[in-house]
């Protein structure tokens, strides 16, 4: 069982993650975090020292939300059974969409934090980018290039990888709209498989037709 001190530290981290996700790092004060966590300003100083240190701890909290890291590093480790680039893409999109559809509150908060960073004026925090965004993005670029090895323009690969990831993330960010349009209370596994299949199909079609 966690000690009171450890529980307080975790409350501070959870509160920071949710507030940073909603308002961005610059839009949140230590006082805001303390109030949400039902703690004192001094307790943040005690556990983290500065807001920058707390922000870094929140970044690391993202990486511990789920052991498979499907939110911050959504691409699953691919086994030997998955061989072609197209199979890899379908496997990754199916995994990513299914996870987005069932993300918990903290996992959804992590998406908000990512959204706040990628829309931040001047670009995302360098540490956040290196530890959270870049690993999954680079792996998606590799999958795209395995499907279209003739594309050697890095800028094109960047845009294509971002487009695929964005489509998957939007299933969670726009979950309410998706449910309303499909007239459903929740998305079943069959629903997410179908959505993933359509995303993969249209992506592959576009990749094969690119440059024709």
Give the max Cα distance, the chain. Answer: 63
Q: Could you give the 3-state DSSP secondary structure of residue 149? A: coil
Q: Could you give the 3-state DSSP secondary structure of residue 25? A: helix
Structure tokens at 79: 């086994």
Q: Could you give the 3-state DSSP secondary structure of residue 63? A: helix
Reported as a single tens digit per residue, the pLDDT across 112-136 is 777 777 777 787 888 888 877 788 8
Contact between 76 and 95 under an 8 Å Cβ cutoff? The reply is yes
Reported as a single tens digit per residue, the pLDDT across 130-183 is 877 788 888 899 999 999 999 989 999 999 998 998 888 777 667 778 888 888
pTM of the model: 0.69
Query: At what angle are helices 105-118 and 154-173 packed, to 10 degrees?
Result: 140
189 falls in which pLDDT band (50, 70, 90)?
confident
Q: What is the distance in angstroms between the CA of the first residue and the CA of the last residue of the chain?
A: 61
Q: Residue 149: its pLDDT value, please?
A: 94
Distance (Å, rounded) from C-alpha 178 to C-alpha 108? 16
């Amino acid at each position: 069982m966690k000690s009171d001190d450890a529980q307080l530290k975790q409350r501070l981290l959870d509160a920071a993650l949710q507030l940073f996700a909603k308002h961005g790092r610059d839009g949140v004060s230590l006082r805001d975090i303390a109030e949400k966590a039902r703690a004192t300003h001094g307790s943040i100083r005690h556990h983290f020292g500065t807001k920058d240190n707390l922000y870094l701890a929140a970044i690391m909290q993202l990486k511990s939300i789920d052991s498979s890291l499907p939110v911050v590093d959504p691409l699953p480790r691919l086994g030997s059974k998955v061989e072609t680039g197209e199979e890899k893409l379908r496997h990754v999109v199916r995994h990513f969409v299914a996870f987005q559809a069932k993300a918990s509150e903290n996992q959804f908060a992590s998406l908000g934090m990512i959204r706040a960073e990628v829309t931040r004026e001047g670009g995302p925090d360098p540490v956040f980018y290196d530890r959270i965004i870049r690993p999954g993005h680079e792996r998606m670029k590799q999958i795209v290039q395995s499907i279209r090895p003739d594309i050697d323009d890095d800028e094109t690969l960047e845009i294509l990888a971002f487009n695929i990831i964005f489509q998957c993330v939007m299933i969670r960010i726009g979950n309410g709209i998706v449910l309303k349009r499909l007239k459903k209370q929740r998305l079943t596994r069959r629903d997410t498989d179908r959505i993933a299949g359509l995303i993969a199909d249209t992506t592959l079609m576009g990749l094969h037709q690119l440059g024709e």
